[in-house]
Chains A and B, each alone.
Chain A
Amino acid sequence: DTEVTQTPKHLVMGMTNKKSLKCEQHMGHRAMYWYKQKAKKPPELMFVYSYEKLSINESVPSRFSPECPNSSLLNLHLHALQPEDSALYLCASSPIQGINYGYTFGSGTRLTVV
């Protein structure tokens, strides 16, 4: 298995809703990443987990809450989002953080906040 699987592919949520994005990989990678990508912009790093521990938080608002329950799973909990949070949310993994490997990305979750 050489894939990163993200669910759901599309999500529409209201500003008062709570939802979660899920990311799963079975490549034995110990680093997992959340990126946010707006249209015609580069992916922007949000969080990095290394060995299931939060390693980097790029000053992301608390309405985004990451969770890494085990080495294969990464969640992003969403609460009280704003319309400007609408974007493509990409999950990625790599064998180890800090060693220079290319990331394996999932196909992303297209989030629309209404």
Chain B
Amino acid sequence: DQQVKQNSPSLSVQEGRISILNCDYTNSMFDYFLWYKKYPAEGPTFLISISSIKDKNEDGRFTVFLNKSAKHLSLHIVPSQPGDSAVYFCAASSTNAGKSTFGDGTTLTVKP
């Protein structure tokens, strides 16, 4: 029973364009959502998060959108840069559980 799903294993975009990475979840108890970026041979790096009381959070080129009714969130990267090429993991947590559950990841390739 996978509670956090990233249905696109890979995404390729041109430099300067928008990258949109999607994530769906099934557990209605999740109240906090996070995105991590992972380069090869490194651990995941925390990127941006959003609380369930918000529907949007922005940090520079990165914006996360949350649609609670659809149990869906997305990460927008604008403009995309070659250095953004990495695996992106969506994660979700509920405050009382004290742990995060990760999706399978989406490999983003930004072409120069």
Contacts and interface: CB of A to CB of B under 8 A. Distances in A.
Given A45-B100, A100-B93, 18 more contacts: A4-B43, A40-B104, A42-B4, A44-B102, A48-B99, A90-B43, A92-B43, A97-B98, A98-B96, A98-B98, A100-B31, A100-B95, A102-B46, A102-B47, A103-B100, A107-B42, A107-B43, A108-B43
A55 B98 contact: yes
B58 to A, nearest CB: 16
8 contacts: A40-B105, A43-B44, A43-B102, A48-B98, A98-B98, A100-B93, A103-B44, A103-B46
The bracket for how many chain B residues form the interface is 20 to 34
Interface of B: 4, 31-32, 34, 36, 41-47, 49, 51, 89, 93, 95-105
A100 B32 contact: yes
A25 B87 CA distance: 24
Contacts of B32: 100
Interface of A: 4, 6, 31, 33, 40-45, 48, 50, 55-56, 90, 92, 97-100, 102-108
A108 B93 CA distance: 22
A45 to B, nearest CB: 5
A106 B43 contact: yes
Contacts of A55: 98
**What 6 A-B pairs have minimum CB-CB distances, sorted nearest first?**
A102-B46, A105-B43, A42-B102, A100-B32, A98-B98, A97-B98
B105 A42 contact: yes
A100 B54 CA distance: 14
A55 B96 CA distance: 12
A65 B96 CA distance: 25
